[in-house]
């Protein structure tokens, strides 16, 4: 009877704690299997939260890069339009000098876009060398790429990573990261501003530059499409994380939360059992040999 009273009292304390905390599993011993599953589910929920945070940061980064890529696309189109306007032998030397000055200004804007930074002050298009200005002038006055073409990947799901950055340098290059477009455009703008040179001296270079700008436009469009594809993947993964998070929350609730009606009913039954056992114990404990004589 004492053992029975002790066991019932333990159950009463457990049920009262469950009703107080509204949790069915307060310590692992309450339900070892459920406790183990809860640990696993909570770990998965934490991982999903981190993936969601990573997706948010990555989406923001891709959005900033997309805006800069769009700006560069517009700049290249403006350069192309200016080159087409300048590709006319009827222009005077003064006209050509004006075209050259405008192209030099457009070149500077193009370099500024290539050297764009994010809100944290890191360079967007320098690969993993985010503290290094990607497009610089060397000692000879030529544009060189000081970054690298390595990718920065972000984990967005279990075993899934998406690259954060894009390699913009190759869109301005003919091979590798030589930045040929920038250097040739700089050279052409200087020739157009030279009063001793005539249209025939750089006509072929204007035509060649038109081809280079068109090629760069095509490469920029490909990058724009690639960024859009990454953003679509992020949206799909984010939706999947939301669905999994909701499903896990339901499981955690089923495993951990107390069924108040059931717990209350069981509590009343255990209390009644203890009361009956105590009464029986009291009666039996008063029995002795003399009461039978």
- Fold entry, domain 44-251: f41 fragment of flagellin, N-terminal domain (1.20.1330)
Q: Tell me the pLDDT band of 113, cut-offs 50, 70 and 90.
A: very high
pLDDT in tens, 194-210: 999 999 999 999 999 99
User: Which pTM value belongs to this model?
Assistant: 0.76
Taking residues 11-38, report their average pLDDT: 68
**Which is more confident, 119 or 186?**
186
pLDDT at 124: 94
Is residue 220 within 8 A of residue 76, CB to CB? The reply is yes
Quick: pLDDT tens for 50-74.
999 999 999 999 999 999 999 999 9
Cβ distance 93 to 101 under 8 Å? no
Q: How many CB atoms lie within 10 A of CB 35?
A: 17
* Tokens coding 262: 């059931």
Please give the share of the chain, as a percent, with pLDDT higher than 90: 63
Instruction: Look at residue 241 and give its three-state secondary structure.
Output: helix
Could you tell me which residues are beta bridge partners of residue 144? 136
pLDDT-derived band at 254, boundaries 50, 70, 90: confident
What pLDDT does residue 142 have? 94
Any idea where the domains of the chain sit in the sequence?
2-22+260-292, 44-251
Q: Which residues contact 261 (CB under 8 A, 6 or more apart)?
A: none
Above 90 in pLDDT, residue 14?
no
Q: Kindly indicate the confidence band of residue 33, based on its pLDDT and cuts at 50, 70 and 90.
A: confident
Asked whether residue 81 carries a pLDDT value surpassing 90, the answer given is: yes
């Amino acid at each position: 009877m004492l053992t029975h009273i002790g066991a019932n009292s333990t159950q009463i304390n457990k049920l009262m704690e469950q009703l107080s905390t509204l949790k069915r599993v307060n310590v692992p011993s309450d339900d070892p299997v459920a406790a183990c599953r809860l640990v696993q589910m909570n770990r998965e929920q934490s991982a999903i939260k981190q993936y969601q945070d990573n997706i948010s940061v990555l989406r923001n980064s891709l959005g900033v890069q997309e805006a800069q890529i769009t700006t560069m696309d517009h700049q290249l189109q403006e350069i192309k339009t200016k080159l087409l306007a300048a590709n006319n032998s009827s222009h005077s030397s003064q006209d050509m000098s004006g075209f050259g000055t405008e192209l030099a200004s457009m070149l500077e804007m193009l370099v500024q876009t290539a050297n764009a930074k994010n809100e944290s002050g890191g360079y967007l298009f320098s690969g993993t060398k985010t503290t290094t200005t990607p497009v610089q002038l060397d000692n000879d006055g030529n544009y060189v790429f000081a970054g690298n073409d390595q990718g920065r990947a972000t984990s967005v799901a279990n075993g899934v990573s998406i690259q954060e950055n894009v390699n913009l340098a190759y869109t301005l290059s003919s091979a590798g990261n030589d930045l040929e477009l920038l250097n040739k455009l700089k050279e052409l703008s200087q020739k157009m501003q030279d009063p001793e040179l005539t249209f025939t001296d750089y006509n072929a270079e204007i035509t060649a530059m038109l081809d280079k700008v068109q090629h760069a436009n095509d490469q920029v469009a490909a990058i724009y499409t690639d960024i859009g594809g990454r953003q679509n993947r992020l949206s799909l993964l984010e939706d999947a994380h939301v669905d999994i998070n909701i499903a896990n929350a339901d499981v955690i609730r089923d495993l951990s939360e107390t069924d108040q009606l059931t717990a209350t009913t069981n509590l009343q039954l255990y209390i009644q059992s203890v009361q009956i056992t105590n009464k029986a114990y009291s009666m039996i404990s008063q029995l002795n040999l003399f009461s039978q004589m």
